[in-house]
Structure 1
Amino acid sequence: MTSSDLTTGAEAPPDTGLTRQEASACLEKYGYNQLPTPPMPGVLELFARQFLSPFIYILMIASGISFALGQNPSGVFILIVLLINALIGTVQEYSAQKAAAALKQMMKGTAHVLRDGQIITVDVEEVVPGDTVLLSSGDKVPADIRLLSASSLAVDESMLTGESLAVAKNADTHSEDSTPLTERADQCFAGSIITHGRGRGRVIATASETQLGKIAQGVTGKTSAEPPLMIRIRKFTYQVTFGILAAIAALACLMLLDGSYSLEEMVLMTIGLAVSVIPEGLPAALTVALAIGMSRMARLNVIIRKLVAVEALGSCTLICSDKTGTLTVNELTIRKVMLPDGRQFDVTGEGVAPGGEIQGLESTDPDTLRELCVAGVLANESHLDYSGGEWVSQGDIVDIAFLVMAKKLGMSISELRTRQEQIALIPYESEKAYSGVVNRIGDQTLIYAKGSPEKMLAMCDRMSTTDGATAIDKAALEAQFNELASRGYRIIALARKTSQPGDHDMTDMVFLGMVAMIDPLRHEAFEAIEKCRAGGIEVAMITGDHPATAKSIALELGLCDADATVVTGPMLEEASTRGQEAVDQLTRQARVFARIEPARKAQIVDSFMRDGHFVAVTGDGVNDAPAMRQAHAGIAMGKRGTDVAKETADLIVTDDNFSSIVAGIEQGRVVYNNIRKVIGLLVATGFSAILLFFFCVLAGLPMPMIAVQLLWLNLVANGFQDVALAFEPKEGGELSVKPRSPHEPVFDKHIIEHVLVVGSWMGLVAFLNFQWTFEQTQNLEEARNLTLMLMVLFGNIHALNSRSEFRSLFRIPLLRNPFLMLAVPLAQLAHIGAMYTPGLSDVLQIQPISLQEWLQLLGFALSLLVVEELHKVLIRRRRARAT
């Protein structure tokens, strides 16, 4: 609903507002003033989703065929595997869904409205179009409002526009629907904060029709960017599926050519081959690896809302960061003080805490600085107090900055304000470009003012120096102002006048000096960006702020050089008229974007993604939410972040610390490395089984292991180790290497080489053992029994060696991963226990073996250790040559 759509309520008199009956009718017609929430799938739908995978389809077909051939134990075992995997996936997705639903909505609280001529307090959800709303300092605007009146009204709209400074409002102006948000002086928007002043306005839009609601609608749909891990796992799934089908076809052809196998033997052999190759333990191992990463990130102040986001953060090649509240503290701070005689002082510290000092003070300076500070404190409507162990401020951030500077000079704010009697307050209005106060001490009237340098210089004819008031040098002061403004500072000038009672004329004033303000960088941002650069991760800054301010911050952070072009919203809009290629060309080299509206942020992210980047977007405002939703990983600031930003994000940084994101990237890379190790372990085992089957067919031997034995090997004997490998800690140096290419598959040439070397050795030795045992004993069950035990021992050795892709097992402390040290003997004991367990041993068709046989098989298995260590030597030599 917009202003042009207002019905009966729109004509309600501003001094009486709607009647209760009209408000009830509007509420019934337009609904509650609530943001849209995404529909959540039920448990059954989540459970059904778990079966949408080529692996699952093959296993279901194998189970059905097993039942048809009377192989009921194999069929039941396969179904149990499918059920366990589905339950794990359902629990994981349902937990993430509940966490998202638990986040509070952005619009909440109460509002003051006129109903039947009386001011009443209603829940924000009950505010309706046509309501007359009363606004005052500290209020959160409950809906989109067109102002009827305003008195010194200023609004913080940073959560919508990214602009850190409060916006002055004026009810006498008129804006159209096409007017940019930052220029709608006669409107206030839902979710923004009144920093000072009062106003009264009529509601023109609620719920989804507000500017906030339109953004929220855009972020509640399906995200367009698939998580990097899911992209890689999906590709891996199809690779393995095609490999299975090709292997089955090749095996069937060999058996047909041999001519000695019956149809049932051929079917059972192909079922066994499929079961042996499919990494049934991968879903559980993936979930555990991600859950461990989630736990480790939580200790680093990064909360994960979606499990796959753990790895997504580690995969990112470019971070698009908001400026206000993310790279900066979102609290204007005075950085420089300039006196009229040319002296300048640097001010340390940041934010509302008065820690810091004014550097370079001499004995003659405090009096002149004190005059400037007095003007800044008295021409001021804000408050600064120490409460609950921290400094708490209320009011306009420019006013607060002056209070903080006075504290740094050792001045008492309360004493200054009580010493002089306030006669009149001149509030800030955008048309005047200044604010002031008229005070009285005895028979004297003192006038203090602060505002834009241009306005203050026009009001002054003298300037304050150590020798008293002298003729003003406007040219020198203008040059000083222009130089600082070009560096991205916000400049405020101050003036004073002593007059007679009743004389409130604000001309012929004494110029006291200027202060240069800036929203300072977070101290940890420098180091964090350096770590990103060292790790090959690019950082782009996207802000709604002025281009000069954005470039100044970017230069300080090293995001661009002095000659770099700052891309603005109008530049993007113009490029959009020429097509995607023009937009991509504009963004490809740019790393600083200013005056960017929410829809443009998402457009920039899209462009980076088309350029081949895995993109993470950080932010704290509603204006950041569409881009966060569009990206591969959305990161919200937990302290200052709006609820819409948090609800949209995949990850939440609880301490608003950019360096926490970098620590999260490191853990994301650790998680991905561990997933690679698990996949290498599982696929090598599957490949060894393929070779074992093929060697047996070529040699005319029967099936070396039945399907249920292969499932036992994959899920139980090796399953403990697969999961334990996911607990592997970082090896070190994760942030010193470049991020993985977005096009790099999880099943890359290194894992393929590992699978070929390790899998070939295991398959060959297992075949030779099976062939020798079967020929010696002519007992198929005994040959299968010993072969299965050998494969279990191979799995034990392989799991230990999989702790690193290139480091020697003997150089990795055993107790760095106590879970794996426990899982290896546990896997062995589980298999030995199954041999002695009635019922289970019958299903698996296994029986106890002698100690001598076990030691002989252990000797065969230890040969794998030698092979893997030699392979790692070759890998280390290649790495050394590459560097």
Structure 2
Amino acid sequence: MRATPLPRAEAAPAWHALPTTEALDRLQSEPGGLSGAEAAGRLARFGPNTLPERGGQGLLGVVLGQFRSPLIYVLLAAAVVSAALGHGRDAVFIAVILIINAAIGALQESRAERSAAALKASLKLMALVLRDGARRTAEADDLVPGDVVLLESGMAAPADLRLLSAHQLRVDESLLTGESALVEKSADWLGTGDETVGDRRNMVFAGSAVLAGRGVGVVCATGEATQIGQVAGLLSGRDAPPPLLVRMEVFSRRIALAILALVLALGLLHLARGAELAEVFLTATALAVSAIPEGLPVAITVALAVASLRMSRRNVVVRRLPAVEGLGSCTVIASDKTGTLTINRLTVTRIVTPDGTGFTVGGEGLGLEGAIEPIGEAAGSAAAWDSLRRLAQAAARANEAVMKIDDGAVEASGDPVDVAFKVLGAKLRGAAFPPGDTGELISRIPYEPERGFCAAAHRCGEGARLSVKGAPERILAMCPPEARAEALAAAEALAAEGYRVIAVAERMLGRPDDRLEPALEGLEFLGLAGLIDPLRPEAFEAVALCRSAGVEVRMVTGDHPATASAIARRLGMAAPEEVLTGRELAALTEPALSKRISEARIFARVEPAQKTLIVQALQDAGHFVAVTGDGVNDAPALKTAHVGVAMGASGSDVARGAADLILVDDNFASIVAGVEEGRAAYDNIRKIIWMLISTAIAEVALVALALLFDLPIPLTAVQILWLNLVTNGVQDIALAFERREPDAMARPPRPPGQPIFDRRMIGQCATNGLYAGVLGFGLFAALLFQGWTEAEARNLTLLFMVFFENVHVLNCRSETRSLFRIPLRANPWVLAAVAAAQALHVAAMYTPGVRGVLGVAPVAPAEWLMALSLAASVVLVAEAHKAVARRIDPHQGAAVLARSG
């Protein structure tokens, strides 16, 4: 390698103004790429190819962030006033509680951020590079200046590249330039050095999306030195919070305003009855502390983070938290077929030659042991075998797959269709057929979904041989008319049996020419290949589970209608009359278009652009739509859908970037698992809300009743703070770990617009909260009536409230199931939270220093039993409410009883 030093970023030349040879020379690279050792050395020198990330808050910032809350301001004011009034111990205790509360919140937020960082790390961008002259897959982070990178449709450019070659390469540079129009790229174009980023046609910049064509480029800038790296600060920003969290923060503020109004009214009443101003303030503080569910936003964030982690364990990576909430609301999943419902391991198992004779091909996947057998006597003729050989060789030429055979072990990479034809060629060579001379590649038209075929021209003597393969209707349109009718009928027959059908044709060209489009006519039809892509074994159960959950599964595929229909029938998805083709879609207008889309269950031969139309029509019909996609042209549909789901194994970088969720294993069953976890997350959030709001109502009722009846405050502000710390501070988080309800996939999806704080939630919160509040007030009043001092009555009332909240969290583990039907071992976090809360309060009762601050003291065994018995009675109220709820909703009640016993 030459010893000339590489240019630094600040002294980098205008790469777009340099010829390719000079650019390679400046970068000390070659068309075959760098050696592995050289790349490692440059990585150590230049550092990883990563953009500077937005600086985190740090531990101190996270802790300080816990104090930015209206409730905290109220408590700080209470601490200051308490100190001014001579209640120094109360002031210190309030300060300690604030610090502990901040520490708990910071810990929970840090855990959520670490979970998000772990999920982000699993979404590494990969690149195709040439190292040591061989094509390899590498992490984009490891690219260095001088690396030679291969670009294909659907990829995201991993660094700034000076193109060395390009074929019909079009990219989307809107992230950098703001222009939505595609940019045609050319390696031969040469600039003057003054062109703006958007005018540099021989450059592909990091962050650009390759939407069509192919290209090869040399890396000229990485990381912060790239164009996008220089504006990274402008592009960075904090992700928007999930809609559910926004709604709950609004809900919390509304509750706070209502409580402030109540506090003001009761405070004025207290003042009118002759109370001192200081006492009124402390009473108002107690009311505010008891009423505001300050832990709600944090608990919801944790619940969503827990659901994200659970999804990741089931091969669903969450890119955007709103998808966790939304997936459980899906009424329609518009799924691709290949690789999602099937395993995407295509095998050529049938061949039909132009004269109608055929062959069966044994084996599956990459196995080379399958025998090739003629069908009928005619197929055994030399002419039929020659037709088979020509078809296989043409399909191998119009092919970009790479296959290696080493001691019988087969490794292959590339498009599954291309790999299947490579395997077919290997089987034919095993049958003593010569592989055929492919010749030097002159030009290629890569496969694009909207094109429907691929082509390649190879040198053959003084001329060239053009080989083409693709969808039968596209290939046969390039062949003489007399070949079409019988071939299309044969293709229909194969498709009706569930085969994916590929037609193959070729043509001899008089002279080599790298412009292939004008030659795509007058082709010689070589035959049809039927490829089988086995259904995923778990697809049957997954589709059935969706049906029981009220979620419609609709297939959207580019395959032949007969093939799609055959697969759908095997999955029990649709009848043949429910199939709608892309051609029929194009011919329809409103309102017939929306009606047919609403009725159809299978969409076949659909163009990528039509997928967006289907999604929009389903949304207009009132559906909450999740859609799958893997190609670059699926990105608009993925963005349009309520939940976009991209393929992790086979999906393009562009599709993954547009999606909300990524399926690591490309498996439809993983989507269904995501629906289950989404519903579980929503249910757990409701449980958290039930817990926090009902206990807040109990505390407010307890204090408010005392004011209304002109009795002393049953609990001081310090005692309420302690109560909220040792119970709500941990128990609400424990509910986020509850397992999904047994009937989660046996009930219809909830309406997307349904408020989380609905009639049932209002009823159960009010019933449980008011019952506990009235019971606590009755206990406090009765103790005072019996001659207990205020301190003694408060001590036992506080113990009752601790018991109540510890018992009530068990009620909140399910809105419909009896707590006696829920195994305690199903969520050990709840048991740990209850044990910790009770242990802390018992410790406080027997610790001299803390006893004085909290106003607590040990009590007699009989009083323990009385407080526990009263608190446990809330179970009867909750059980009665659940029984009524099951009676009102017979479907849910039946599902619960059938699955929980």
TM more than 0.5: yes
Residue by residue over 1:514-560, the C-alpha shift from the partner in whole angstroms, topping out at 9 and shown as x without a partner, is 224588875655643443343234567778x6997998799677489
Match of 1:255 among 252, 270, 274: 270
Identity %: 38
Q: Which moved more, 1:666-675 or 1:508-517?
A: 508-517
Match of 2:664 among 627, 638, 654: 654
Match of 2:873 among 853, 863, 877: 863
Code of the aligned partner of 1:413: R
Structure 1 distance, partners of 2:614, 2:55, is: 29
1:388 offset after TM fit, Å?
11
Residue by residue over 1:407-447, the C-alpha shift from the partner in whole angstroms, topping out at 9 and shown as x without a partner, is 6xxx3536646x4673856867559986688999xxxxxx9
1:145-164 paired onto structure 2 within 5 Å: none
Structure 2 distance, partners of 1:389, 1:689, is: 74
Structure 1 distance, partners of 2:743, 2:26, is: 66
1:786 offset after TM fit, Å?
0.6
Code of the aligned partner of 2:242: P
Code of the aligned partner of 1:20: R
1:702 offset after TM fit, Å?
0.9
Q: What is residue 841 of structure 1 aligned with on the other side?
A: 851
Q: What is residue 166 of structure 1 aligned with on the other side?
A: none
Give the conservation status (yes or no) of the 8 Å contact 1:279–1:714.
Answer: no
Structure 2 distance, partners of 1:844, 1:186, is: 74
1:346 offset after TM fit, Å?
7.9
Q: What is residue 700 of structure 1 aligned with on the other side?
A: 710
Match of 1:299 among 300, 313, 328: 313
Q: What is residue 503 of structure 2 aligned with on the other side?
A: 492
1:449-468 paired onto structure 2 within 5 Å: 451=469
Q: Which structure has more RCO (C-alpha within 8 Å, separation ≥ 6)?
A: 1
Residue by residue over 1:107-145, the C-alpha shift from the partner in whole angstroms, topping out at 9 and shown as x without a partner, is 7575699xxxxxxxx9966479xxx99999999987899
Question: Closer, same or farther in 2 for the Cα pair 1:823/1:387, shift >3 Å?
Answer: farther
SS at match of 2:848: coil
Structure 2 distance, partners of 1:329, 1:205, is: 39
Instruction: Note if 1:87 corresponds to 2:106.
Output: yes
Give the conservation status (yes or no) of the 8 Å contact 2:691–2:732.
Answer: yes
Instruction: Note if 1:764 corresponds to 2:774.
Output: yes
Question: Closer, same or farther in 2 for the Cα pair 1:716/1:144, shift >3 Å?
Answer: closer
Q: What is residue 194 of structure 2 aligned with on the other side?
A: none
Question: Closer, same or farther in 2 for the Cα pair 1:413/1:565, shift >3 Å?
Answer: closer
Give the conservation status (yes or no) of the 8 Å contact 1:252–1:270.
Answer: yes
1:770-849 paired onto structure 2 within 5 Å: 770-849=780-859
Instruction: Note if 1:75 corresponds to 2:94.
Output: yes
Structure 1 distance, partners of 2:743, 2:821, is: 16
Q: Which moved more, 1:285-294 or 1:362-371?
A: 362-371
1:690 offset after TM fit, Å?
1.3
Q: What is residue 240 of structure 1 aligned with on the other side?
A: 255
Q: What is residue 413 of structure 1 aligned with on the other side?
A: 429
Q: Which moved more, 1:618-627 or 1:797-806?
A: 618-627
Please, what TM-score do these two structures have when normalized by structure 1?
Answer: 0.72
Match of 1:20 among 6, 15, 26: 26
Please, what TM-score do these two structures have when normalized by structure 2?
Answer: 0.70
Give the conservation status (yes or no) of the 8 Å contact 1:326–1:619.
Answer: no
1:42-81 paired onto structure 2 within 5 Å: 42-43=57-58, 50=66, 53-56=69-72, 58-69=74-85, 70=87, 71-81=90-100
1:703 offset after TM fit, Å?
0.8
Match of 1:748 among 758, 764, 777: 758
SS at match of 1:739: coil
Residue by residue over 1:741-781, the C-alpha shift from the partner in whole angstroms, topping out at 9 and shown as x without a partner, is 22222222112111121112111111111011112224111
Q: What is residue 714 of structure 1 aligned with on the other side?
A: 724
Q: What is residue 419 of structure 2 aligned with on the other side?
A: 400
Structure 2 distance, partners of 1:170, 1:74, is: 68
Structure 1 distance, partners of 2:583, 2:72, is: 48
Which consecutive residues of structure 1, in runs of 5 or more, have no partner in the other structure?
1-6, 24-30, 114-121, 161-168, 175-184, 441-446, 463-471, 498-505, 576-580
Structure 1 distance, partners of 2:409, 2:72, is: 56
1:324-473 paired onto structure 2 within 5 Å: 326=340, 334=348, 336-342=350-356, 361=375, 365=379, 370-379=385-394, 380-381=396-397, 383-385=402-404, 391-394=410-413, 398-405=417-424, 411=427, 413=429, 416=432, 419=434, 422=437, 424=439, 451=469
1:691 offset after TM fit, Å?
1.3
Structure 2 distance, partners of 1:551, 1:45, is: 55
Structure 1 distance, partners of 2:551, 2:369, is: 34
Q: What is residue 531 of structure 1 aligned with on the other side?
A: 545
Residue by residue over 1:580-624, the C-alpha shift from the partner in whole angstroms, topping out at 9 and shown as x without a partner, is x99999998898695446xx9899978987887666554445666
Q: What is residue 3 of structure 1 aligned with on the other side?
A: none
Which consecutive residues of structure 2, in runs of 5 or more, have no partner in the other structure?
1-12, 30-45, 133-140, 175-183, 190-200, 447-452, 509-519, 895-901
Residue by residue over 1:198-236, the C-alpha shift from the partner in whole angstroms, topping out at 9 and shown as x without a partner, is 9888999999999x989x999966699752432442243
Q: Which moved more, 1:60-69 or 1:871-880?
A: 60-69
Question: Closer, same or farther in 2 for the Cα pair 1:224/1:285, shift >3 Å?
Answer: closer
Give the conservation status (yes or no) of the 8 Å contact 2:109–2:298.
Answer: no
Question: Closer, same or farther in 2 for the Cα pair 1:550/1:521, shift >3 Å?
Answer: same
Question: Closer, same or farther in 2 for the Cα pair 1:870/1:630, shift >3 Å?
Answer: same
Give the conservation status (yes or no) of the 8 Å contact 2:54–2:237.
Answer: no
Q: Which moved more, 1:292-301 or 1:51-60?
A: 51-60
Give the conservation status (yes or no) of the 8 Å contact 2:145–2:220.
Answer: no
Structure 1 distance, partners of 2:216, 2:786, is: 97
Match of 1:872 among 878, 882, 887: 882
Match of 1:678 among 662, 669, 688: 688
Q: Which moved more, 1:78-87 or 1:865-874?
A: 78-87
Question: Closer, same or farther in 2 for the Cα pair 1:218/1:847, shift >3 Å?
Answer: closer
1:209-220 paired onto structure 2 within 5 Å: none
Structure 2 distance, partners of 1:677, 1:615, is: 26
1:733 offset after TM fit, Å?
1.9
Structure 2 distance, partners of 1:318, 1:389, is: 45
Give the conservation status (yes or no) of the 8 Å contact 2:154–2:631.
Answer: no
SS at match of 1:392: strand
Structure 2 distance, partners of 1:677, 1:273, is: 24
Code of the aligned partner of 1:828: Q
Give the conservation status (yes or no) of the 8 Å contact 2:403–2:411.
Answer: yes
Instruction: Note if 1:731 corresponds to 2:757.
Output: no
Code of the aligned partner of 1:384: M
Structure 2 distance, partners of 1:686, 1:350, is: 63
Residue by residue over 1:235-256, the C-alpha shift from the partner in whole angstroms, topping out at 9 and shown as x without a partner, is 4323422332232133224324
Q: What is residue 279 of structure 1 aligned with on the other side?
A: 293
Pairs aligned (count): 801
Code of the aligned partner of 2:280: M
Residue by residue over 1:830-875, the C-alpha shift from the partner in whole angstroms, topping out at 9 and shown as x without a partner, is 2122100121111111000000111122222232222222222212
Task: Indicate the RMSD between aligned Cα atoms, in angstroms.
Answer: 6.1
Code of the aligned partner of 1:493: V
Q: What is residue 500 of structure 1 aligned with on the other side?
A: none
Give the conservation status (yes or no) of the 8 Å contact 1:229–1:311.
Answer: yes
